[in-house]
Amino acid sequence: MSNKLSVIGCGRWGSCLAWYTDRIGEDVTLYGRKGASDFAALKETRKNEFVTLPASVALTDDLAEALASDTLIISIGSQNLRAFLAECAPFDLTGKTIVLCMKGLEIESGMRLSSIVREVLGERVRVAVWVGPGHIQDFVLGIPNCMVIDSDDEETKTELAHRFASDLIRFYVGQDLVGNEIGAAAKNVYGIGAGILDGLGYASLKGAFIVRSAVEMARFITACGGDAKSIYGLAFLGECETTFFSPHSNNKRFGEKFVRGEAETRLCEGVYSLEVLHRQSREKGVEMPICDALYRCVIARETDAKTLLATLFSRSLKEEF
């Protein structure tokens, strides 16, 4: 028996989510804003550069129609979430399940995305996050991966993990919503650093970069009330594989182009999260040398990429962990 759900957001990842959930037997509606160029293209051709949507996926620019589904998968820019939820608030959303398939931290408040849902919509909805490694380009070719569903409600995350599982994606049930959300957002930040290494021809340093990134993020997650061990799961280290090494990674591409002085027009969530991590690490008194160096290089423009690396690798001798 199919289940009714709506995917909110018709960009690359949103269209992939519509394709995937239709593939596993869901009754899917994909929502895009009226007048949006990517949605207009989907309506005309039912495809974009990555996926072709079958006729069974309904397309709508009517928000009321999209919100009629019991399950709402949201895949939009993290900085647009609060405004979108405010549009949804007047509708009757009681008992609906909201699944956030997006990664980031709100730049102004520093809040996690699930916390924004709670603040705007209250307790009338169930909230979960869908995070973990995987790129659209691989999924559409049938290349499998593993991902995580987490929530502050045990029944919700267990139910969704079973519901969305298939031969293409194996889901794990997360045990730390705080750690998994922060980790998923932070991997984009360090992905920029990985791109900088590639752009400078220092890809051999990625091993050290991953390990030290995990160490400082474990400290940060602990300071935020999460479990440090979560950093070693799929939401951070698992995602580092795709973010640090895949040619499909937007954040890695941003770092490479930054080093070369080229403009990057695609969305790079890591830039927003970098500003939040830098600010909050100082507020919480957490030592995060890589994050600090990336901030000074990418956002404050106080130093260049080669000086950034020299600073990091000339630090005083320390024990490994």
Q: Which amino acid is at 164?
A: F
Same domain for 185 and 128: no
* pTM reported for the whole predicted model: 0.93
318 lies in a domain? no
Structural domain boundaries, residue 136: 4-173
- The packing angle between helices 177-200 and 269-284, to 10°, is 120
Q: How many degrees, rounded to 5, is the angle at CA 132 between CA 127 and CA 136?
A: 105
- Residues 18-77 have pLDDT tens digits of 999 999 999 999 999 998 888 999 999 999 988 999 999 999 999 999 999 999 999 999
Instruction: Give CA torsion, residues 45, 47, 53, 55, to 10 deg.
Output: 10
| Last residue in a domain, options 120, 138, 173 | 173
Same domain for 18 and 162: yes
Residue 275 has pLDDT above 70, yes or no: yes
- Give the lowest-confidence range in 2-6, 187-191, 301-305: 2-6
Same domain for 25 and 162: yes
12 lies in a domain? yes
Q: Which of 103, 157, 187, 206 is catalytic?
A: 187
Looking at residue 91, the DSSP 8-state letter turns out to be: S
210 lies in a domain? yes
Same domain for 10 and 134: yes
Same domain for 152 and 11: yes
Q: By C-alpha distance, which of 57, 48, 55, 49 is closest to 21? A: 57
- Residues 279-301 have pLDDT tens digits of 999 999 999 999 999 999 999 99
206 has catalytic annotation: no
Which residues fall within 8 angstroms of residue 310, CB to CB, at 6 or more apart?
Answer: none
* Count: domains in the chain: 2
Rg of the chain (C-alpha set): 19
Q: How many degrees, rounded to 5, is the angle at CA 102 between CA 45 and CA 217?
A: 145
**In this predicted structure, what is the pLDDT of residue 267?**
65
| Last residue in a domain, options 124, 156, 173 | 173
Q: Which residues on adjacent β-strands are paired with residue 150?
A: 129
Task: Residue 157: give its domain's CATH number.
Answer: 3.40.50.720
**In this predicted structure, what is the pLDDT of residue 269?**
86
Which residues fall within 8 angstroms of residue 51, CB to CB, at 6 or more apart?
Answer: 15, 16, 19, 136, 140
